[in-house]
Structure 1
C-alpha cells in the first residue's frame, strides 16, 4: 500500500478528535530521562527499527514521541517527524490494550501536535492498518507505488546457514 495523506484542517478531523477523548488514559510527550524505558518497551513489543525511529523523535525539542499511560503503565506510543519531517509514525499499542481506543487517541493527539507545530498535512508512511487511518482521520492514498521513503532501507542480515 502507498503512503497516506491526512489533512489536519478538514472538518472531519476536528469532529473525529472530539469523539475519541478518553479520561482514563494519560497521553503526553516522552521526557528525556524516560528514553531508555520507552525504547526498551518499543523493542520488546514491536521492533528495533521502530525503536530507532522513536529515538530520533524523543531526541527532538520538544519531543515528538507521545506515550499513552494507563495507571502509570506504558500501553502505547506514537511519533512524528521521526523518519522525515511531516511524517506520522511509528505508532503502536500493547497487545493487551488493543481495541480500547488508545491507538485512536494517540493518533489524534499526535496529529494535533503536528497541527500545532504548523503542519497542514501529515503523511503516514508505509501504513499497516490502512482502513483504520482512512476511517478515523479521512486519510487518502498518495498514488505512488511502493514503500516510499522505506523502499531502500537497510535490513538486518539474516544469519548465514551453518554447514
Structure 2
C-alpha cells in the first residue's frame, strides 16, 4: 500500500468534534509516560496489526507524540505521529465498538495540528490500511502518493522491494 499526503495548512479545527465527544464522556488528551505500558498493550490487543514498536517510539520523543481517547478511565483509542519517521502520522487505532463516533477523526486532527505546530506544511500518512483510505480522504482530503511504492517501509526486514 502506498502512503498518503495531507496539506496541514488546510486541516479543519477539532474543537467542535472534541466538544461533542466530551458530552459523551470521551476525552482526547496527550499521552503521558506513566500510561506507556497500558497504551502499548492496547495497541497489541486492539489493532489488527501490532503497532507496539511504533507506539513505543512515540514515547521516546520529547514531547511524547501520541494522543489518546479515554472514556470512564478506559483507553478507547490512540494516534501517534513522528513514530515511524519524521513528518509521518500513524499508527492509529480505535476500539471497534467506538468507531463512527468521531473518536478517530478527533485523534487524527489533534495529531495533525501538533505536526503543523512543529512547522510542517504537509504530513505523510504512512502505509494506511485499505479500509482507512476513504476515512483519510473524507476527514482531511488526503491523497495517495504512489501506489507502486511502500515508501519508508521498504526498509523493514520482511519487505522486499
TM-score with structure 1 setting the length: 0.85
Q: Secondary structure of 2:5's partner?
A: strand
- Structure 1 unmatched ranges of 5 or more: 156-163
Whole-angstrom distance in 1 between the partners of 2:55 and 2:65: 8
Q: 1:48 to 1:124 in 2, by over 3 A?
A: closer
When Rg is computed on C-alpha atoms for both structures, the one with the higher figure is 1
Task: Indicate whether 1:141 and 2:138 are aligned.
Answer: no
Asked if the contact 1:6–1:122 (Cα under 8 Å) also holds between the matched residues in 2, the reply is yes
- Preserved contact between residue 80 and residue 90 of structure 2 (Cα < 8 Å): yes
For the residues of structure 2 that align with 1:64 and 1:136, how far apart are their CA atoms? 20
Q: Does 1:109 align with 2:105?
A: no
TM-score, with length taken from structure 2? 0.86
- Give matches, 1:33-72, under 5 Å: 33-46=34-47, 49-72=50-73
SS in 2 for 1:20: helix
Q: As a proportion of its length, which structure holds more helix?
A: 2
Moved over 4 A (4+): none
Report the count of equivalent residues.
152
The Cα RMSD (Å) is 1.7
- Give unpaired runs (5+ residues) of structure 2: none
Q: SS at 2:51's partner residue?
A: helix
Q: Take 2:96 and 2:82, find their aligned partners in 1: how far apart are those partners?
A: 25
